[in-house]
Amino acid sequence: MKSVPDYFGALVFDDRVMKATLTDDVYSSLKKTIDEGAPLQTEVANAVASAMKEWAVARGATHFTHWFQPLTGITAEKHDSFISPSPDGRVIMEFSGKELIKGEPDASSFPSGGLRATFEARGYTAWDPTSYAFIKDKTLCIPTAFCSYGGEALDKKTPLLRSMEALNKQALRILRLFGNSDVKCVRTSVGPEQEYFLIDEKVFLERKDLIMTGRTLFGAKPPKGQEMADHYFGTIKPRVAAFMSELNDELWKLGVLAKTEHNEVAPAQHELAPIYATTNIATDHNQLTMEIMQKVATRHGLVCLLHEKPFAGVNGSGKHNNWSMATDTGVNLLTPGETPYENAQFLLFLCAVIKAVDDYQDLLRLSVATAGNDHRLGANEAPPAVISIFLGDELTAIMDAIVRDEPYVGAEKTVMKLGASVLPNFNRDSTDRNRTSPFAFTGNKFEFRMLGSSNSIACANIMLNAAVSESLRVYADRLENVPDFESALHDMIKKTFSDHRRIIFNGNGYDDAWIKEATEQRGLLNLRTTPDALPRLLCKKNVDLLTSCGIYSEAEIRSRYEITLDNYCKTVNIEALTMVDITRKNILPALDGYVKELAETIGAKQGALPELSCRYEKSSLTKVAALVDAIDLAVERLETSLIRYKTITDVTEASVFIRDDMLPKMAELRSVCDEAEMITPEERWPFPTYGKLLFSVR
């Protein structure tokens, strides 16, 4: 058997392959494009394309595709084969530099949020040479950006790359102020921890709600859920282990650094974490990971659920976005340094993040807003919809000391003097752990925990990079050319800490008392749902931020607004329609059958022995018959809501209607159906129960 280092990245046209297959000139010219964004010459593109094709064909590829990330949140690909007719009636395999660099898919069926009228169907895909090409399903996949005929970004990659560039530019200005002249660029890195559920395919196929919507719309609580805490980090069952093993193999071949795997809190819930990578690569890899997870699951008779809340009453799935900034010289800017002076630089970058998160709480919240994630945020297991930062005790104490102009008393009770030029020296805080904070400092990185499991991580990172780059810009503007850098720096750090103290919270984020304190005393935002959060995207301060650092044009912002809300509306609308369908076609007929059976049993029993009370049958009959009426009423109310929804044309209005009218009616319908499930014999219930779904895999 081959060892992992032998096949890791076997399907990736990575640096090693480039070196081996390209001439020195072509290689160094391509490297310049990758590392410094230098334009690509046609001859170089042709040479790279030809080498890529040779390499891919030798590995069984027959097609190529520009692989991109439209605003649907998933990836898209249109395959073209390499074949080209030759005069002798046969074919040769061809691939040109032009085909590598640019594609022209018909863009008309992708959401554009008004950026492109349907008649302007043309869209362009453009090669992103910073993310390696790879082979998937016999197809050479070329990571690309996707834009409209007019040049507006129609994807998630383009703004992500722009946000990384914005941060790079401002971070370099700050580093220069600290005398770092060797650093050429600053990149953000991300390690996304991916949660998911695995259930048996057979039970999945019997659940229309899972098939249509990815989550259960009905289902009473099973006798056992996650209360015993016996699943978290538990022994991995053989079928799951076989799945994980094959998944790792597939991901490793694609160069994805799959590293950690374990069972999560809820039954049937698991997690996979890769080793962190540069943000755009991490984003591409996370998209690939989600796709491969679902494919590999099918091969094992399993279904991988990536929905944020597949089951009520047990934990949902999120994605923890571990984020840091590092220089090309290998320095993580969020690592506390060895000397007070290094720590001043660290503290300034830390301040930049604190200021960014406080100033742009709304952008961060809305970057993870979807109908699915609304079920999670604010529920018991996920971070609340209120954004706050966990800093840990030591950093918080340092911060408070700086604000009060007091000496900082460190862990060893040594007193650190705080003057204009002496910022404290302290230990890296490695002991604190807080699982409930939406945004936690974990020693040398921040962990943004509000992302939903099915979200592309692009949006969250775009907003985070944008907000931090803005703090850095403000700092650089103020610190460049000051006569006394050190005292200006000290004042700046002190000002940030005191202005943004309200966003720091080290306590339990799941506590109701916190939400009250956060909103009433600290004035933090509590944007509970997608329709609450999204309108904030159009606020002047947010539009100014995103346009001024060149991440989005105003039209692009508007399009994201429309698409996100439209997606929210469509998602819930499909769920409501599915509920009506299941209630009318499955639940009510099943219950009526049960009512009939009970009535017949009573008749038969009393016909045989008139003195029998038939206590059980009669009480069941009374309860079930009453529930049938209640369900009929509830489904009718939901149908009325669906009809009214259809008459609303404005997407903002529609989303508010869904939040205030349709979702509550869905909850009412579910509640009466779940009640009926509890008193109906299992074989009469028309689909598998939570017990079967959650404990189906051995």
Would you tell me which residues interact with Mg ion (CB under 5 A)?
320
Please report how the helices 485-499 and 458-479 are oriented relative to each other, as an axis angle in degrees rounded to 10: 140
> Residue 108 binds which one of ligand ADP, Mg ion, none, with CB within 5 to 8 A depending on kind?
none
Instruction: Round to whole Å and give the CA distance between 175 and 345.
Output: 8
| Pairing mode, strands 133-136 and 12-13 | antiparallel
Judged by CB under 6 A, the chain residues 347 through 366 that form the site for ligand ADP are: none
By CB under 6 A, is residue 324 in contact with ligand ADP?
yes
User: Using the rule CB under 6 A, is 671 a contact of ligand ADP?
Assistant: no
- The identity of residue 403, as a single letter, is V
Does residue 67 touch ligand ADP according to CB under 6 A?
no
* Residue 37 backbone class (left: φ over 0; alpha: ψ -120 to 50; beta: rest): left
Q: How far is the CB of 530 from Mg ion (least distance, A)?
A: 25
Distance CA 61, CA 137 (A): 8
Does position 336 interact with ligand ADP (CB under 6 A)? The reply is no
CB of 320 to Mg ion, least distance (A): 5
E strands, 360-483, are 389-390, 408-409, 415-416, 439-441, 446-452
Q: Which does 21 bind (CB under 5 to 8 A by kind): ligand ADP, Mg ion, none?
A: none
Q: Tokens for 209? A: 């709600």
Given candidates 191, 214, 384, 392, which one binds ligand ADP under the rule CB under 6 A? 191
444 binds ligand ADP (CB under 6 A): yes
Which two tokens mark 467? 């907000």
- Are 560 and 113 contacting, i.e. CB atoms less than 8 angstroms apart? yes
β 446-452/302-305 pair status: unpaired
Q: Tell me how far, at minimum, the Cβ of 246 lies from ligand ADP, in Å.
A: 21
Closest approach of Cβ 257 to Mg ion, in Å? 16
**Chosen residue from 193, 381, 394, 617 binding ligand ADP by CB under 6 A:** 193
Q: Quick one: 87 or 330, whose CB is closer to ligand ADP?
A: 330
Q: Does 187 bind ligand ADP (CB under 6 A)?
A: no
CA distance 133 to 687: 44
Beta strand extents in 425-577 (DSSP E only): 439-441, 446-452
Contact 492, 355 (CB under 8 A): no
Residue 332 to residue 323: CA distance in whole angstroms: 11
Burial call 193-219: b when 16+ CB within 10 Å, e when fewer? bbbbbbbbeebbeebbbbebbbbbbbb
Please choose which of ligand ADP, Mg ion, none residue 81 contacts, taking the beta carbon within 5 to 8 angstroms, the exact cut-off set by kind.
none
Q: Which amino acid is at 293?
A: M
131, two tokens: 């993310």
- Nearest to ligand ADP of 191, 318 (CB atom): 191
CA distance 198 to 453: 13
547-553's contacts with Cβ under 8 Å and 24+ in sequence apart are 548/470, 549/162, 549/163, 549/166, 549/466, 549/469, 549/470, 549/473, 550/162, 550/165, 550/166, 551/159, 551/162, 551/163, 551/166, 551/462, 551/466, 552/153, 552/159, 552/162, 553/152
- 276 counts as binding ligand ADP under rule CB under 6 A: yes
User: Between residues 113 and 509, which has the closer beta carbon with respect to Mg ion?
Assistant: 509
Q: Does 275 bind ligand ADP (CB under 6 A)?
A: yes
Q: What's the rounded Cα separation, in Å, for the pair 46 and 502?
A: 55
Distance in angstroms (rounded) separating the CA atoms of residues 641 and 576: 9
The smaller minimum CB distance to Mg ion, of residues 320 and 365, is found at: 320
Stretch that binds ligand ADP, among 186-194, 220-228, 341-349, 645-653 (CB under 6 A): 186-194
Contacts with ligand ADP, 21-40, as mask; x by CB under 6 A? --------------------
Q: How far is the CB of 274 from ligand ADP (least distance, A)?
A: 6
Nearer to ligand ADP by C-beta: 256 or 663? 256
Residue with Cβ nearer ligand ADP (193 or 562): 193
Which of 322, 465, 469, 567 is close enough to bind ligand ADP by CB under 6 A?
A: 322
265, 225 in Cβ contact below 8 A? Answer: no
- Cα–Cα distance measured from residue 670 to residue 676, given in angstroms and rounded to the nearest whole number: 10
- Looking at 166-174, 190-198, 287-295, 419-427, which segment touches ligand ADP (CB under 6 A)? 190-198
- 445 binding ligand ADP? (CB under 6 A): yes
- Nearest-angstrom CA–CA distance, 290 and 567: 20
- Tell me how far apart the alpha carbons of residues 179 and 554 are, in angstroms, rounded to a whole number: 37
Q: Does 329 bind ligand ADP (CB under 6 A)?
A: no
Q: In this chain, which stretch among 141-149, 272-280, 413-421, 679-687 interacts with ligand ADP, using CB under 6 A?
A: 272-280
- State the binding partner of 332 from Mg ion, ligand ADP, none, CB within 5 to 8 A by kind: ligand ADP
Q: Does 332 bind ligand ADP (CB under 6 A)?
A: yes
Q: Shortest distance, CB of residue 682 to ligand ADP, whole angstroms?
A: 39
In the complex with ligand ADP, which residue's Cβ is closer, 160 or 697? 160
Q: Which CB, 274 or 372, lies closer to ligand ADP?
A: 274
Q: Which stretch binds ligand ADP (CB under 6 A): 219-227, 274-282, 413-421, 607-615?
A: 274-282
- Under 8 Å between Cβ of 199 and 317: no
Minimum separation from the CB atom of position 523 to ligand ADP (A): 30
Q: Is 72 one of the binding residues for ligand ADP (CB under 6 A)?
A: no
Give 308 or 617: the residue with its C-beta nearer to Mg ion. 308
Amino acid at the residue 292: I
Can residue 274 be called a binding residue for ligand ADP (CB under 6 A)?
yes
Structure-token match 């009374």, residue found: 622
Q: Give the shortest CB-532-to-Mg ion separation in angstroms.
A: 27
Helix/strand/coil (H/E/C) assignment for every residue in 514-547: HHHHHHHHCCCCECCCHHHHHHHHHCHHHHHHHH
Closest CB 229 distance from Mg ion, rounded Å: 18
Would you count residue 108 as binding ligand ADP (CB under 6 A)? no
Shortest approach of ligand ADP to residue 281 CB, angstroms? 12
- To ligand ADP, the closest distance from the beta carbon of 340 in angstroms equals 22
Q: Which stretch binds ligand ADP (CB under 6 A): 28-36, 133-141, 188-196, 214-222?
A: 188-196
Q: Which among 140-148, 319-327, 366-374, 478-486 is the span making contact with ligand ADP, rule CB under 6 A?
A: 319-327
Q: Tell me whether residue 401 or residue 451 sits nearer to Mg ion (CB atom).
A: 451
Report the interface residues with ligand ADP, using CB under 6 A: 189-191, 193, 273-276, 322-324, 332, 444-445
